[in-house]
Structure 1
């Protein structure tokens, strides 16, 4: 994960750069997600082989000095290789007939000394035999090789499953036209870092300056009138975050997004963004956010604790000119309680506004990118609504469920408030 900062330089014979504390947690999330990805796709024990491509668009040198420890720790290339190796080992515990992950790796690094360092580390590692066959190295910028990597994914197999890890340092190195192409032409997921702090500082100087966002193909998704309105009202930071989050989701062409705010003790704040086409992928990632948020300071969510709005068109909606931006959401125990409480109020209201009923799968698809909740918190909120008879959960056979934990994707959520008034 290469950065334009001297402490993140790699050179053969020189001291390793030190990994920041927040990056350690980010690495844990990525490693856990890769293992969970394999677990989910291989849940059916009869599947013997998973063809998968993993792309690291900003690979760096592959090794760091650990934060606050006198030891070496893995960078993203080795993190990826070891996570897939561990996931395959877990698949085969207690089995006679082996199951395999047929993985191919593309490590892209534009700085030649960094790539030379990575190549040397790979040659010295247990993965040396994969160089040239399963591990491919590129001394270019990500946008220069993205099209060729996408073509390779398409050629490998019909499933075209891939995970792109794009840990850029700022926000300029990954045009969203490329991400849109990834989603339109392969069955991929994208894990992206996006330095919104530098971008919002740049835009704050002149909120009509569209050039920076035009360069990464996001300008057309921004409500520039809204930005000007909120800047005048002293709510610039809230508005730009809301607009950028919406632009990333719309510009990527993905159906679902998880967004995590990362605040290092020093330096710029950035987002860890996961983009996917399926709710289950989004749900797995959000679950990992809840799992790891308390292991490192500075991991937060700012857009809302229940169901929030992205790309809010205040200038086009009569009588609605402001937004209630809530307090910082830190994924702690109190935040969990607030999230469930807010959802227990907002989900019945949503159903009432959507002609009374919808399948559970439709609910999660509709609100998946608009809440910090995972399925666990959503079902806890539904339990409250079931208990007070605001909602009924109807099965395909016409029965009802009393436990939200038993809700299936096809179960119908039906608003039941009229019965209370009766």
Structure 2
């Protein structure tokens, strides 16, 4: 049921197409991450971070069904840092150094030996043991050493990004995620989860075992019903079980912000893997959602389009999305429409003005929309005369591109189109 381990004992391992999608999302997120973190620091000379690949593999693969060689996640991470360095320094008079510590972990000694060779062949031998650390261990066992390395590299901030492309769904329990956030306050985690096999093959006994392993309560989220009852009562029981598993995991992991989207599988295109992003800041969550929309051909979610996408009545295959919310033009149009309507209601119910960052932070976990899409919706409400957006010094905002985190949002004194007193 779980994804099989790669075999490094006799040379290059094969990699599947969906893993390339995961790696590209990681690369694109990292580049955007560095751009965002250095955006408002023109005088900064150095930015420190630890990048952790908890299931790193051997560094070089053969694409399944072909002879094409492809780089693994460690080398893709390093390439992303080089790309980000070029972009963030493009218009700086004084360059900012990206001081990155890499920690690559794998329990397969053959994989690490292969990775060491690949790094050496590409001129990184001198960096191994200095800025590149190779750990032969299970990720959970290596966690203490990893967290110590993060503390030494960034003592005050604990700035780190973990890429945890686990082999199934049991190797990163919720308490371990919670400990990462407790000890590294500026950490982010990108976690994959092979949920299709879990939902398809699970029964009560198996669900109890997984609950114990991950230290979460799946049955609480299932409304105390048995798996067999769920399968008998719910038309789309796989999605229902997956939603319960996701909510139970998020509840216990200690992350303030998260995204719950699927990497689309082959064939019918139904989601097979979660690519779960966990963080403590809404800006990080927004950047990851930008990447999901960028890779619309590869992602899907099975909930709603507005501010309450994980509500029970929206879970499952929504008819208007023809098998899921696919981050395409249909999904974008639906999101834009629902955002306008639902933000209008929310703002009407506010007793006083609230800044944009608060509105976004309080609702973004329940929406596939980016901050830019929120701003477009607010601009529509401003144009209709239903909402006022003002800067901290009282200057009105009319266009989405000028709306800032600190801008104050409130309902207009005279309601026009979307906010009717008789609603």
TM-score for both structures, normalised by structure 1? 0.87
Q: Paired residue for 1:192?
A: 191
Per mean C-alpha deviation after superposition, the further-off stretch among 17-26 and 223-232 is 223-232
Per mean C-alpha deviation after superposition, the further-off stretch among 264-273 and 219-228 is 219-228
Return the alpha-carbon distance in structure 2 between the equivalents of residues 284 and 164 of structure 1: 16
Tell me by how many angstroms 1:67 deviates.
5.9
Match of 2:20 among 5, 17, 24: 24
Q: Paired residue for 1:285?
A: 288
Query: Is the contact between residue 300 and residue 327 of structure 2 (CA under 8 Å) also seen in structure 1?
Result: yes
Q: Paired residue for 1:260?
A: 261
- May I ask how many residue pairs the two structures share in their alignment? 404
Alpha-carbon spacing, 1:377–1:69, altered in 2? closer, same or farther (3 Å): farther
Return the alpha-carbon distance in structure 2 between the equivalents of residues 324 and 162 of structure 1: 33
- RMSD value over aligned CA atoms? 2.6
Query: Is the contact between residue 54 and residue 162 of structure 2 (CA under 8 Å) also seen in structure 1?
Result: yes
Alpha-carbon spacing, 1:221–1:30, altered in 2? closer, same or farther (3 Å): farther
Match status 1:72 vs 2:69? yes
Query: Is the contact between residue 221 and residue 245 of structure 2 (CA under 8 Å) also seen in structure 1?
Result: no
Match of 2:139 among 119, 138, 142: 142
Return the alpha-carbon distance in structure 2 between the equivalents of residues 324 and 276 of structure 1: 23
Tell me by how many angstroms 1:68 deviates.
6.5
Aligned with 1:410: secondary structure? coil
Q: Paired residue for 1:225?
A: 223
Return the alpha-carbon distance in structure 2 between the equivalents of residues 109 and 87 of structure 1: 26
Query: Is the contact between residue 200 and residue 238 of structure 2 (CA under 8 Å) also seen in structure 1?
Result: no
Match of 1:109 among 106, 111, 130: 106
Q: Paired residue for 1:306?
A: 306
Match status 1:342 vs 2:338? yes
Q: Paired residue for 1:165?
A: 163
Alpha-carbon spacing, 1:209–1:377, altered in 2? closer, same or farther (3 Å): same
Match of 1:330 among 319, 326, 349: 326
TM-score for both structures, normalised by structure 2? 0.87
Tell me by how many angstroms 1:329 deviates.
0.6
Tell me by how many angstroms 1:128 deviates.
1.4
Q: Paired residue for 1:376?
A: 372
Query: Is the contact between residue 200 and residue 237 of structure 1 (CA under 8 Å) also seen in structure 2?
Result: yes
Cα distance per residue 1:143-194 (max 9 Å; x no partner): 0011221122112232221000000021100011111111111110000001
Alpha-carbon spacing, 1:98–1:356, altered in 2? closer, same or farther (3 Å): closer
Return the alpha-carbon distance in structure 2 between the equivalents of residues 185 and 415 of structure 1: 41
Match of 2:50 among 46, 53, 59: 53
Alpha-carbon spacing, 1:364–1:30, altered in 2? closer, same or farther (3 Å): same
Query: Is the contact between residue 254 and residue 275 of structure 1 (CA under 8 Å) also seen in structure 2?
Result: yes
Return the alpha-carbon distance in structure 1 between the equivalents of residues 315 and 291 of structure 2: 27
Q: Paired residue for 2:97?
A: 100
Return the alpha-carbon distance in structure 2 between the equivalents of residues 61 and 108 of structure 1: 10
Tell me by how many angstroms 1:349 deviates.
1.6
Query: Is the contact between residue 227 and residue 239 of structure 1 (CA under 8 Å) also seen in structure 2?
Result: no
Per mean C-alpha deviation after superposition, the further-off stretch among 391-400 and 24-33 is 391-400
Tell me by how many angstroms 1:264 deviates.
2.1
Return the alpha-carbon distance in structure 1 between the equivalents of residues 356 and 88 of structure 2: 30
Tell me by how many angstroms 1:269 deviates.
0.9
Tell me by how many angstroms 1:311 deviates.
7.5
